[in-house]
A and B are shown apart, each in its own frame.
Chain A
Amino acid sequence: MKQGYTLIFALAWRNLWRNPRRTIVILFAIVLGAWAMIVMAAYSRGMSQQVFNNAIDNLLGHIQIHAPGYLEDPVIDRVLDTQQPALKTALLAPEIQHTAARVRVPAVVASERDSQGVTLLGIDPAAEADMSFIRKSVTLGKYFEGNQDGGIILGKKLVERLETSLGRRVVLMTQNSQNKIADRGFRIVGIFDTMIDAQETSYAFITLGTAQQMLDLGTNVSEIAVKLSHADHTDKILGGLRAGLPGLDVKPWYTLDALTKLFQDTWEGSAFVWYLIVFLAMGFGIVNTILMAVFERTREFGLFQALGLKPNFILLQVWLESLLLLTTGLAIGNLVSWLTVLATGDGIDVSAFSQGMEMVKLSKIIPFVLTTDDLVVANAVVLILGLLTCLYPAWRAARLVPAHAITRV
């Protein structure tokens, strides 16, 4: 039996190259289809991951803890005390990688020439360094040197709008915990550049110590952001925190940023639809090629049966031809896709569209991200659907009556 399989494998491979031009044309179609699937998947995955990472880095974290009612009305008196023991205990889970306490209130920042509404963020420089985008995005000046640093860090776009510059002074105005106007002058010590205009114009950063002092908050903060070792732990840690902190409002990233969650879910669904569309175009070519090969070799299949090859072996032989065609095409397609992704380096520049793309937290450079899961799914779609499609010609070949097939011209 083993020798029978060796025979049909040899026959399948040689038959594939019996009409080299036809085989090369259909191979080209499979390679192109696989390439389109994989490269598009890598681009979409890059977008999806960038959206997610940018969202998490955009002061979101995987989980946030607030005083009840803060999210509905983020005012200064809805704060939580960082010194409460229950909070400290709850944040000791090993999956929690970083935590950062923040003061987060609406404010107005004014230069000599202009003013703009912003979200004032009082951050702990050390804790925030690994938590959000801010530290790695300071491209001019410097990041805060300690929790009592008296400077302010603004976005590049905001600095342009305020017509000010590094080293100059701006005034921050907001409301303190006694509901009185609190204002103070700050020197711009750093300018951050994230390539996302909305981000650069929305935030003004001062240190947590300075903010608590300016707003008479003591050790209170507006929020605690939690970053996990992996996003998959979100629900587990969320449950633990909610159980340990019954008096506080604990929310996951996907509730706080529903748009990012929607984007992620939509991407998963649309990628599969894209695979099916590409396969449909490719599948007709494959089935046509195999069907033509079966028609051309009707007489040969009759002969095989006359010589004692069982119908199942005929089916297997045709199927094996399809398998060889598909695997050869996929192997080349995967290689070409990998080279394409490699050639794009850090990603492709989409700055021409970046204004619109900021809405979904995309940067000007979109990286191609090739994941094993996406590769497996794309290849599995082509292989499984391809083999299912080729069942028909294989079945036709197997059910030929040998006496009729052998006399077919």
Chain B
Amino acid sequence: MTAVVSCTNIKKIYKQGTIDVVALAGVDLTVEQGDFVCLSGPSGSGKTTLLNIIGGLDMPSAGEISVAGNMLHTMSKAQLAEMRLQHVGFVFQAYNLIPVLTAQENVEMVMQMQGVSKRERGRRARQVLKEVGLEGMENRKPPELSGGQQQRVAVARAIVSNPKLVLADEPTANLDSKTAENLIDLMRHMNSEHGVTFVISTHDPRVMLHAKRNLKMEDGRLV
């Protein structure tokens, strides 16, 4: 097995005025290709901070981190953006779609930035939207979709370019139970059938139930 993510003694300290707030107090974590990892823990335990650092959205205060062979702590903002574009998909708690783009355009966006041809990205976007159950809704804009549908578009966008890693931050938090179940099934399906690696931060026991590994965080550490 290949390690997609490798964190060594990751620390993150925020300054709030004169006070140092420790968000991560030395995290060591390895995620293998094809893994399905759930991070759970109380609010403020550092789950989202860890996901942000793994995704290169934020930089650690100390420690070393490697994602898909890239040493993130040594990279510039532009290099981090390129790394995310090529290797990482994101699903956020609040669906975070671009409101001026249709569902298909939202899904195509990453591929467009990667330079995939118009025909190919259209084909792949329609196929993935069909897989997440949104066939026929390709031309709807986010405000015309329900919360569950928007989150499925976000999942489709995260997986459409076959990233090595998908990071999901409480993806079921704003969904009703049926929609949440569907989304979990979808992610499990992507993991088992397409080998997509997931790291999910969640409070949802249903998500944890399907995880290959459940990790708990407390006070900025894995316990």
Contacts and interface: CB of A to CB of B under 8 A. Distances in A.
Contacts of A299: 96
Interface in A290-330: 299-300, 302-303, 305-312
A311 B112 contact: no
A406 B78 contact: no
Nearest to A401: B58
Contact of A4 (B52, B77, B90, B112): B112
B interface residue count range (under 10 / 10 to 19 / 20 to 34 / 35 or more):
20 to 34
B171 to A, nearest CB: 14
A128 B160 CA distance: 83
B103 to A, nearest CB: 15
B113 A303 contact: no
Interface string A60-78: 0000000000000000000
A64 B149 CA distance: 85
B100 interface: yes
A403 B98 CA distance: 17
Interface in B91-111: 92, 96, 98-101, 109-110
A402 B84 CA distance: 12
Contacts of A93: none
A15 B100 contact: yes
B98 A310 contact: no
A311 B81 contact: yes
Given A15-B100, A299-B96, A312-B78, A306 B90 contact: yes
Contacts of A312: 78
B96 A406 contact: yes
B109 A305 contact: no
Nearest to B157: A307
Contacts of B81: 305, 308-311
28 contacts: A3-B112, A3-B113, A3-B118, A4-B112, A11-B100, A11-B101, A14-B101, A18-B100, A300-B98, A303-B96, A305-B77, A305-B84, A306-B90, A307-B113, A308-B81, A308-B82, A308-B84, A308-B86, A308-B88, A309-B81, A309-B113, A310-B77, A401-B57, A402-B52, A403-B49, A403-B52, A403-B58, A406-B92
Interface of A: 1-4, 6-7, 11, 14-15, 18, 299-300, 302-303, 305-312, 401-404, 406
Interface of B: 49, 52, 55, 57-58, 77-78, 81-86, 88, 90, 92, 96, 98-101, 109-110, 112-116, 118, 157
